Amino acid sequence: MSYSNQELLKMYEQMQFSRLFEEKLIALINEGGLPGFYHLAIGQEAVQVGAVSAMSKEDYFLATHRSHPALVNLLDTNKFICELLGRYEGYNQGKGWEHISSKKEKVLPASGDLGVGVPLAVGFAWALKAQKKEGVVICLCGDGATSEGNVHEGMNMAALFKVPIVFLIENNQWAISTPYAKQTAAKNLSTRAASYGMTGVTIDGNDVEKVRETVEEAINKARKGEPSVIEAVTYRWKGHFEGEPGLYRNPQEVEEAMKNCPVKKLKEKLMAQGTLTVDMVEKIDQDIVARIKAAFDYAAKSPLPTEEQTVDYKMVYATYLGGDLQ
Ligand SMILES: Cc1ncc(C[n+]2csc(CCOP(=O)(O)OP(=O)(O)O)c2C)c(N)n1
Ligand SMILES: [Mg+2]
């Protein structure tokens, strides 16, 4: 499958948006201006951007704790940054950055409980089928999460009940300090699909076009009641969360992986074919930085929750409805 220059440029911009957004988070964390834990996906942008660009308006995305590349591109930037800064206008009224969901933008809530997102996504996809809706759920899941029982039960049910779902396993080769080889004897994770009666494929997760093409095919199959598994292999450049030094791994391994940057790869291809110029690269970066700054400025002026709003917990129990409850 080949994509138009316009589509390729859009994928480049979406990956770069995530990269610059996460670099802004790093700067804020280093300044001491951002408390909490931020699981960055720098170096992994192609997996989620490839998936998001394959989705159509009816489709849903189930996030994990490491989902900025998808979320920054699916959600409203102002409302997203409002949540980051704990503002009432944020998706969860300032109560939970990592569990953002939105009915409007079709983003299903990530769970801090590893692997729990999978049965949740399967249930959601099953509901879409029961309601005879067109949508497919893209269910993101880390390599570490695939060792959780919930994931197996969810995949088994999905295949049995033929629900419209695509399991996208983002194999960044680490689950906190556990390397892939120490958590499973399986050579790759797509082989798991066969045991549930699904098809599975392992692809280069740093090739955004390949991810998009594979997810598009899987979405088409899922719409016909054929769920499947995609393992997209990439690498986590940063610590498990920003600031975690990653002393358990060899710096040379990280350096080696960083040579395979998905954003740089697409940029070089587009420059070589004349679709992207140095001036355009600069302009894209300037526009993204301005967009991020505008959202932070907006959020900084947006009110914090009042004392009463802070203890109004209905949002916590109805995460999927997000701000729509208001
Ligand atoms: C049930 C459960 N066990 C353990 C944890 C702690 N934990 C949080 S993230 C994580 C590793 C996740 O690895 P992976 O699924 O590969 O995602 P990645 O962080 O690499 O994106 C673990 C063990 C948890 N949140 N929930
Ligand atoms: Mg992982």
Does the pLDDT at position 315 exceed 70?
Answer: no
* Residue 64, φ and ψ in degrees, nearest 5: -120, -165
> Which atom of ligand 1 lies closest to the CA of 240?
19
Instruction: Say if CB 83 and CB 97 are below 8 A apart.
Output: yes
| pLDDT tens-digit series, residues 146-183 | 999 999 999 999 999 999 999 999 999 999 999 999 99
Does the pLDDT at position 199 exceed 70?
Answer: yes
Residue 285 Ramachandran class (φ > 0 left, ψ -120 to 50 alpha, else beta)? alpha
> Which atom of ligand 1 lies closest to the CA of 174?
20
Q: How confident is the model at residue 325 (pLDDT cuts 50, 70, 90)?
A: very low
Q: How far apart, in whole angstroms, are the C-alpha atoms of residue 12 and residue 4?
A: 12
Q: How far apart, in whole angstroms, are the C-alpha atoms of residue 219 and residue 55?
A: 8
pLDDT at site 162: 98
- Residue of minimum CA distance from atom 16 in ligand 1: 144
Residues contacting residue 21 through CB under 8 Å, at least 6 positions apart: 68, 72, 288, 292
Residues contacting residue 291 through CB under 8 Å, at least 6 positions apart: 17, 77
- Residue of minimum CA distance from atom 2 in ligand 1: 114
Nearest ligand for residue 173 CA: 2
Average pLDDT, the chain: 94
pLDDT at site 310: 84
Q: How confident is the model at residue 137 (pLDDT cuts 50, 70, 90)?
A: very high
**Pocket of ligand 1 from Cβ distances under 6 Å:** 39, 65-66, 112-114, 142-145, 172, 174-176, 236, 240
Structure tokens at 111: 């769970």
Does the pLDDT at position 319 exceed 70?
Answer: no
Residue the block writes with tokens 């970066």? 285
Q: What is the mean pLDDT of residues 74-101?
A: 91
Q: How far apart, in whole angstroms, are the C-alpha atoms of residue 28 and residue 49?
A: 24
Ligand 2 centroid – CA 174 distance (Å): 4
Which of 42, 151, 176, 177 most suits a substitution to test ligand 1, by most atoms within 8 Å of the C-beta?
A: 176
| pLDDT tens-digit series, residues 258-270 | 999 999 999 999 9
> Which atom of ligand 1 lies closest to the CA of 176?
11
Torsion sign across C-alpha atoms 258, 259, 260, 261: positive
The predicted model scores a pTM of: 0.96
Does the pLDDT at position 105 exceed 90?
Answer: yes
- Ordered domains of the chain (ranges, CATH): 5-306 (3.40.50.970)
| pLDDT tens-digit series, residues 287-297 | 999 999 999 99
pLDDT at site 322: 44
Q: How far apart, in whole angstroms, are the C-alpha atoms of residue 74 and residue 102?
A: 10
pLDDT at site 144: 98
CB atoms under 10 Å from CB of 274, counted, come to: 8
Instruction: Say if CB 262 and CB 46 are below 8 A apart.
Output: yes
Q: How far apart, in whole angstroms, are the C-alpha atoms of residue 111 and residue 120?
A: 9
Ligand 1 centroid – CA 152 distance (Å): 16
CA dihedral 181, 182, 188, 190 (to 10 degrees): -160
- Per the DSSP assignment, residues forming a β-bridge with 230 are 168, 201
Instruction: Say if CB 218 and CB 4 are below 8 A apart.
Output: no
- Per the DSSP assignment, residues forming a β-bridge with 179 are 174
Q: How far apart, in whole angstroms, are the C-alpha atoms of residue 217 and residue 301?
A: 44
pLDDT at site 14: 98
Residue 250 CB-density burial (10 A; 0-12 exposed, 13-18 middle, 19+ buried)? exposed
| pLDDT tens-digit series, residues 218-253 | 999 999 999 999 999 999 999 999 999 999 999 999
